[in-house]
Amino acid sequence: MGVDDDPRSTLVVRAVGARELLHAVTLLGGPTGAVWTRVGGDALDLALLASAARSRSGTRRTRVLTALGVVGGITAVDLYAAARTRRMQHGRGRPGPLELQASVTVNRSPEDVYAFWRSLENLPRFMLHLQTVEDLGGGRSRWRANAPLRRRSVGWEAEITSEEPGRRLAWKSLPGADVDNAGTVHFGPTPDGRGTEVKVVLHYDVPGGRVGRAVARLLGENPVQQVRDDLRRFKQVMETGDVVRTEALPEGTDARHQVLQRPGRALKGGVR
């Protein structure tokens, strides 16, 4: 391709080849976003070839420029793939990269459980991170929630995308949401027919990305634990009418307070 056949050039070419193999392994076994490492490698290749072209002439320069054009085309393809991947994973109104699943068994019929959940204004009763949920009609709703660390709030509007009364409810956030999210709740009878198996699947972007997720986890706000706590509170509300609280955990089964729990007694005046 017009470069010198000397020890230094040979070393550089081999290093580029080794890097390409590393990209291949990362793309096959790593996250989808790893395609951006290809774009970075392409930029480095373009810089190396441009440097070589400046010191070449005649046929050798033509060969370097031809290689530069080929790598430029590959870079364009990699950029397209990377941008498409980003739109798929992080675009407005699309499911985020974090997927959570949790389930709980409730001793009520699927119809009762579904009806309570479908009345979206009920959700803040057991989802402590939610401040309000307003049903706007037509399958649309407005949500306001605490952000990680609870230093500010975030909001979004959502729409119901699929609904099977007594069996399934799915939704997604609308463009412009502070937190892109989507989810599905499945309601099915238990094998003995005496209760309902509730399964929740959530996809969403965490404010602050991986850093925000890590900090929240350190402070007891692990998203997976939050969903499990929400479902435990949901079970309590459906079966007893309220969240069970004790002197040790006055906020109920809130993930942020788990480190503070201890053997507790019922609150004075009984459980409320």
Domain range list for the chain: 7-90, 98-260
Q: Residue 11: helix, strand or coil by DSSP?
A: helix
C-alpha 35/C-alpha 118 separation (Å) is: 40
The number of beta carbons lying within 10 Å of the beta carbon of residue 43 is 14
Instruction: Please give the structure tokens belonging to residue 126.
Output: 């057991």
Which DSSP string do the residues of 176-197 spell out, in sequence order? Answer: T-SS-EEEEEEEEE-TTSSSEE
- What single-letter amino acid sits at 185? V
Residue that the structure tokens 């306001």 belong to: 144
Contact 104, 196 (CB under 8 A): no
C-alpha 117/C-alpha 21 separation (Å) is: 50
What pLDDT score does 219 carry?
42
When the candidates are 3.40.50.300, 3.30.70.2190, 3.30.530.20, 3.40.50.10190, the CATH number that belongs to 98-260 is: 3.30.530.20
What pLDDT score does 206 carry?
58
C-alpha 169/C-alpha 192 separation (Å) is: 23
DSSP-derived letter for residue 237 is H
- What single-letter amino acid sits at 259? V
C-alpha 162/C-alpha 171 separation (Å) is: 7
Instruction: Please give the structure tokens belonging to residue 194.
Output: 């005496």
Contact 179, 173 (CB under 8 A): yes
- What single-letter amino acid sits at 271? V
Mean pLDDT by 10 residues, the chain (272 residues): 80 88 79 76 87 86 90 88 60 54 94 95 91 93 77 85 94 86 93 93 67 47 79 93 60 47 56 48
What pLDDT score does 54 carry?
86
What pLDDT score does 268 carry?
62
The pTM of the full predicted model, rounded to 2 decimals, is 0.55
Specify which residues 143 forms β-bridges with: 133, 156
Specify which residues 148 forms β-bridges with: none
